[in-house]
Amino acid sequence: MSGGSARSLAKGSAPPGPVPQGLIRVYSMRFCPFAQRTLLVLKAKGIGHEIVNINLKNKPEWFFTKNPFGLVPVLENSQGQLIYESAITCEYLDEAYPGKKLLPDDPYEKACQKMVFELFSKVPPLVTSFIRRQNNEDGSGLKEELRKEFSKLEEVLTNKKTTFFGGNSLSMIDYLIWPWFERLEVLELNECVDHTPKLKLWMAAMREDPAVSSLLIEAKAFRGFLDLYLQNSPEACDYGL
């Protein structure tokens, strides 16, 4: 139950017990980019945690008591406190746990990271639209829109003259946007970064990060998951196990 490669819990499953002291639990799904944000922060900060994977195509009834929206990720601590919405879970972990701060202390620098996050906000729905497009659509319109959004991010790196979005070392904003960039290759969207060289360099630098590389999803597994997920198969979330 504690591993990221555990079978998901589905309808009819028994709810997991209380979270043991000293650990925090994350309700997740192995291929979900939003949950990946939380896993990245847990890893980067070395926070002791257990993972409970949820079958998003066949959700356990008890899961809605964890998050009324029924979405992952959700954090649950040993005091029974529940936190959801991926960006909120990440900020909570940074505030509640010691060690390296991923968000800057300086109020303006922190606000800048949040403004970049807003700048990125059109990317996830665009990628979702691309994934869900019908077979006869070639997606070139969506690719063009993605290129536009990526240009905005390129401009940030150009103005800052740093490798990462928060400065010369990796920080919260980089982890928050990474999961979608990881998926570009397997989705055959890599061409969308052809005109944004700094973004390309950033992607390469991200892959060197220990937290990022430890959570990389194998391309074949992601493809296998995606095909089943788009068919609404209850087997999708456990693909490869």
Partner 1 sequence: MEDATRTFGKGSCPPGPVPEGLIRVYSMRFCPFAHRTRLVLRAKGIRHEVININLRNKPEWYYTKHPSGQIPVLENSKCQLIYESVIACEYLDDAYPGRKLYPYDPYERARQKMLLELFYKILGYQNTVFFGGDCISMIDYLFWPWFERLDVYGIADCLNHTPALRLWTAAMKQDPTVCALLIDRSIFLGFLNLYFQNNPDAFDYGLTC
Give least dist CB 82 to partner 1, A: 9
* By the rule CB under 8 A, 125 interacts with partner 1: no
* By the rule CB under 8 A, 159 interacts with partner 1: no
By C-alpha distance, which of 225, 240, 8, 197 is closest to 131? Answer: 225
**Contact assessment for residue 165 and residue 113, using Cβ atoms and an 8 Å cutoff:** yes
* By the rule CB under 8 A, 81 interacts with partner 1: yes
Contacts (Cβ under 8 Å, ≥6 apart) of 126: 142, 145, 146, 149
* By the rule CB under 8 A, 92 interacts with partner 1: yes
* By the rule CB under 8 A, 201 interacts with partner 1: no
Give least dist CB 152 to partner 1, A: 9
**Contact assessment for residue 90 and residue 41, using Cβ atoms and an 8 Å cutoff:** yes
Contacts (Cβ under 8 Å, ≥6 apart) of 97: 45, 47
The contact mask relative to partner 1 for 102-121 (x = CB under 8 A, - = no) is -----xx-xx--xx--x---
The contact mask relative to partner 1 for 13-32 (x = CB under 8 A, - = no) is --------------------
What single DSSP character describes residue 216?
Answer: P
Contacts (Cβ under 8 Å, ≥6 apart) of 164: 170, 171, 173, 174, 202, 205
* By the rule CB under 8 A, 216 interacts with partner 1: no
The yes-or-no answer on residue 192 being catalytic is no
| Contacts with partner 1, residue ranges (CB under 8 A) | 77, 81, 83-85, 88-89, 91-92, 95-96, 107-108, 110-111, 114-115, 118
Catalytic positions are 32
